Each structure stands twice: as structure tokens, then as C-alpha cells.
Amino acid sequence: MRLVVLDHFFGQDVDALEETMAEEDVLIRIPYRRWHRVAQRCFPSSAFLELSRPFQGDLADSWINFQKFVEEEVDWLIAIYQPNLFVLPSDIFFYVRPFVESFKARGISTFVMQKETTISPDVMDVLSLEVGRHTPFMSDFMTVCSQRHKDFWIKAGADPKRISVTGQPRFDLYAHQADRDPPKRPRLLYLSYDDVAYLPTDGDEVFGGTWRDLRIETERVLNKFTDRYEIIVKEHPQQAKADSALGRAVRRADRYSDTRHLILNADLVVGFQTTALYEATVCGRPIIYPAWGRVFESVRETLCNFEEIPGMVNWAQDPESLHSWLEEGVEGLKRPGHGALNEACVHLGPIDGNSSRRTLELMKGFLVAAPESKPSLVQVGRRLLSGVKVSAFFCAWLVTRTLRPQLSIRLGRRKNESWMHFVEGLAGLRRLLGVSDGK
């Protein structure tokens, strides 16, 4: 089995899948930025904001230019990696859809290992119809974590026979929780969030606000308990940089760090509208749910109503009650009960440690032999020239690591991408020369 996988913010699922694969199997990760960056050059920024925008008539030239890149890239990937399945986290992204078509045109099946989990009422009722209208499911098959998620795609018009509920590969870890040494102070994990996340698409205009006030008020209260708890804040990877009321005593986890391990090592989880609250429920961690204010009340019906799930969260309905819950301490807070665990599994699917294995078995039914092909000398030359870029990006990365950490992260990604192109160029040169991988 040789899988080409588009890695778009679902590295944990890919890791779980790879750990379950046989030793002779190969998994090749394509960072989404490799294609996203080209799409940004071809399409206006507005194309990335609305599902319908990329398909409007005035972007015909953008599609022509991007399609050229797609055809060349797919030919190159087949020639270098000889994959027998293309795997992606979703085919809803407009710039990914032509890759699905191109792989199919060359006889290679496409398989969605759906990365999303929680489906809020607004997503189920509104987004499903928009997806069905503008970006309907187009791959050969899709796995989803739960029956609720399958219902979303059926509502979006997908054929239920092409969807299977497997559970989420990354959650297999929770089925094998290991004991840990208790910290000196209770460890509190705070899951921060973007100021406009979870709001309806036109939330700012319609409701006249964001989550900023709620977030800042929450952080001001947390900041008063740094002597009592070891507080760790984890931002969402796609969270826009925003002001914070958290002081220096709060430890900031890397936004790309593994949330699963942070939950497993926490004694208490504080979070708002995030799937991680269901994950904390599965792990039996007490949860404080800070949710109050005008914006919350105005959009409450569109959100995941964690406060209405019996026995799941300790609901802080204002800053004072959040302070009181934190004063209670870990032992004084209620932990998720059996009913809460059942509700969590409605959204996350089965947590039995076998999701990856079920997904792999389904993938085997779509494997095909990749067409025999070789890259052109021009293609190989372009990739080998990336070796020059590797050196430039590496030097820039070293210089900025201390002075400009955020810039350094971006340069590090470009360095890794250039190195990947260079390694592919070497593989292409071997194929042109008829040298096998084993020589």
C-alpha cells in the first residue's frame, strides 16, 4: 500500500494511521501549503472566504492557470511515488477538488478520511446545504467519526453507501490511557479560541460583537489563580493573534502541540466551543465551561450546548461563578458522568482503539496499481534547484529563530518544503537513470 496523503491540519490522524500500517506500507505526506500557496497566487483572496466565490464566472482565468499546476503536480507525484490511493481530510476545499478529478482521471481512487468531528446545530442545518450546493462530496469514499457526522453529509447530498462510520483514528490514543505522576499543583488546561470562531458566517455584522469580551473576562479570572494551579494555555492552530489578559505565570503551549497529550496530563480543563471538551469527557477530566454575555445568548441556539448535557460541565455563567468554580478546586468539581460520556461518543464516535484499523481495512478496497510513468528531465531539474532554496531558507531560519520566532516558523516550513522538492528531484533523477531504490 502506497498512500499519498494531503496533510491539512490532521497530522494526528495521519500519525495514528501510519502507526497501524504494515511495515512494507508507505505513507507520503504532502503539506497542504504546497498547493495552497499556488492557489493564493492564482486566485483572489475573496475565493478563500466563501464556498461559492471560487466558482463564479470572473475567475475562469484563475482556474485555467491553476489547472496547469494541478496536472503537472499529479503527474509528478505519480511518477515519483507510484501511489495507489490518494487520501485527504476533506474534498470541500476548492483548490483540492481539481486534484481529486486529476487523480481519478489517471485511475487512482480518492479516499476522504474526514478530520472534522463535532457538528453544531448551525453547521448541521445551514452549512450542510451550502456544501451540497457548492462543494458536494466528490471522492470515491469517506470515513467519518460518528453517525451524526454521516447524517451531515447525507443532508449535504452524499450517497450514504459511500460513507462509513469508523470513529476517529487520532482518538485511539484515549482507549489506552496511561497512569501519570500527579503534578505538585493541579494542572489546568485552558483552551483559547479565536474571537470570531463558532459564530455564524455573518456573525459580526448581525450580532454586533465577537467573543473578545468573554475571552478577556475568562482570562482575567484565570490569571488570579496562577499560585493555586499550574495553568497551561493552548491556542487553536488557526487562531488569529489577539490580545491576552494572561500574565507571564501562565505557561503557553505551542499552538501546534498535541492537544490529546495536554488533556491526558491535565487535572482540569477550561474551554468554550471546542471538540476538546468531548475529548476531556472521554478522559474523565472535570470541565469548566465559561459561557455568558450578550453575544453568547444571541447565538446560543447555533452552538454546541455543552451546558445542557447532564453531568458534563461545570457551567460558569459569569466571571464570579468562574471564580467560584476555581475556588472549589479539582476535587470539588463534578466529573463527567455516564450520560455525558454517551453524548460525547455521539459526536466523537466509538473510542475503542480500533478506528485506525477499521479505516485501513476500508482503504484496501480502493487500492489500484499506479500507472507506469517517468518524470521529464525539466521536472527533475526544477526540483533539484530547490536545493539552492533549502540553503537560503535554512540560513534565514537560523537568523530569525530568536529575533522573529513567528517568521522563523514560516521560514522553517518553506525550508522543509524545499527540502522535500529536492529529495523528490533526486528520486526523479534515479528513475530517469533506471536506478532502483534499493541500489
The model's pLDDT over 55-83, given as tens digits with 9 standing for 90+, comes to 999 999 999 999 999 999 999 999 999 99
* pLDDT recorded at residue 179: 67
Q: SS3 for 110?
A: strand
pLDDT score of 217 more than 60: yes
For residue 51, is it within any domain? Answer: yes
Which grid coordinates belong to 400? 530569525
pLDDT score of 343 more than 80: yes
* pLDDT recorded at residue 206: 41
Query: Band of the pLDDT at 391, cuts 50, 70, 90?
Result: low
Query: Band of the pLDDT at 255, cuts 50, 70, 90?
Result: confident
Least confident segment among 21-30, 96-105, 194-203, 316-325: 194-203
CA 437 – CA 195 distance, rounded (Å): 50
In this structure, the answer to whether residues 22 and 148 fall within a common structural domain is yes
In this structure, the answer to whether residues 183 and 162 fall within a common structural domain is no
CA 218 – CA 290 distance, rounded (Å): 7
Q: SS3 for 144?
A: strand
Mean pLDDT of 414-437: 84
Mean pLDDT of 200-229: 82
Q: In this structure, what CATH number is given to the domain that contains residue 262?
A: 3.40.50.2000
In this structure, the answer to whether residues 196 and 322 fall within a common structural domain is yes
- Per cent of the chain over pLDDT 90 is 75
In this structure, the answer to whether residues 358 and 386 fall within a common structural domain is no
pTM of the model: 0.85
Which residues have a Cβ under 8 Å from the Cβ of 180 and sit 6 or more positions away? 264, 265
Q: Integer distance in angstroms from the first to the last C-alpha of the chain?
A: 21
- In 82-211, which ranges are continuous DSSP H helix? 97-105, 121-122, 128-134, 147-155, 203-207
* pLDDT recorded at residue 237: 79
The model's pLDDT over 277-291, given as tens digits with 9 standing for 90+, comes to 999 999 999 999 999
CB 353 within 8 A of CB 175: yes
Number of domains into which the chain is organized: 3
Which grid coordinates belong to 239? 487562531
In this structure, the answer to whether residues 204 and 311 fall within a common structural domain is yes
Mean pLDDT of 351-374: 95
Q: In this structure, what CATH number is given to the domain that contains residue 37?
A: 3.40.50
* pLDDT recorded at residue 439: 39
The larger pLDDT score, comparing residue 305 to residue 439, is at 305
For residue 310, is it within any domain? Answer: yes
CA 154 – CA 166 distance, rounded (Å): 16
Nearest to 272 by CA among 250, 248, 239: 239
Distances (CA, A) of 409 to 3, 32, 312, 419, 421: 27, 16, 37, 15, 19
For residue 437, is it within any domain? Answer: yes
pLDDT score of 268 more than 80: yes
* pLDDT recorded at residue 256: 83
Domain that holds residue 434: 375-439
How high is the mean pLDDT of the chain?
91
Q: What sign has the CA pseudo-torsion 347, 350, 356, 359?
A: negative
* pLDDT recorded at residue 155: 97
Contacts for 39-42 with beta carbons within 8 Å, 24 or more apart?
A: 39/66, 39/94, 39/95, 42/66, 42/69
In this structure, the answer to whether residues 13 and 158 fall within a common structural domain is yes
In this structure, the answer to whether residues 193 and 271 fall within a common structural domain is yes
Mean pLDDT of 176-186: 77
* pLDDT recorded at residue 215: 96
For residue 347, is it within any domain? Answer: no
pLDDT score of 205 more than 50: no
Nearest to 30 by CA among 94, 72, 117, 88: 88
Mean pLDDT of 206-226: 88
For residue 70, is it within any domain? Answer: yes
The model's pLDDT over 242-251, given as tens digits with 9 standing for 90+, comes to 789 999 999 9
- Per cent of the chain over pLDDT 70 is 94
* pLDDT recorded at residue 410: 72
For residue 278, is it within any domain? Answer: yes
* pLDDT recorded at residue 389: 76
Q: Label residues 94-103 b or e (16+ Cβ within 10 Å = b).
A: bbbbbbbebb
What is the DSSP code string of 212-268? HHHHHHHHHHHGGGTTTSEEEEE--TTPPP------TTSEE--TTS-HHHHHHT-SE
* pLDDT recorded at residue 208: 58
Least confident segment among 35-44, 55-64, 65-74, 419-428: 419-428
In this structure, the answer to whether residues 116 and 205 fall within a common structural domain is no
CA 198 – CA 119 distance, rounded (Å): 11
What is the DSSP code string of 407-436? HHHHHHHHHHHHHHHHHHHHHHHHHHHT--
* pLDDT recorded at residue 387: 72
The larger pLDDT score, comparing residue 247 to residue 208, is at 247
Query: Band of the pLDDT at 406, cuts 50, 70, 90?
Result: low
Q: SS3 for 193?
A: coil
In this structure, the answer to whether residues 298 and 433 fall within a common structural domain is no
Mean pLDDT of 2-22: 96
For residue 349, is it within any domain? Answer: no
Q: Which residues pair with 269 in a beta bridge?
A: 189, 287
In this structure, the answer to whether residues 184 and 321 fall within a common structural domain is yes
* pLDDT recorded at residue 436: 65
For residue 346, is it within any domain? Answer: no
Mean pLDDT of 87-95: 97
CA 240 – CA 390 distance, rounded (Å): 28
In this structure, the answer to whether residues 221 and 292 fall within a common structural domain is yes
Rounded to 5 degrees, φ, ψ at 431 are -65, -40
In this structure, the answer to whether residues 403 and 360 fall within a common structural domain is no
Rounded to 5 degrees, φ, ψ at 118 are -65, 135
Which residues have a Cβ under 8 Å from the Cβ of 261 and sit 6 or more positions away? none
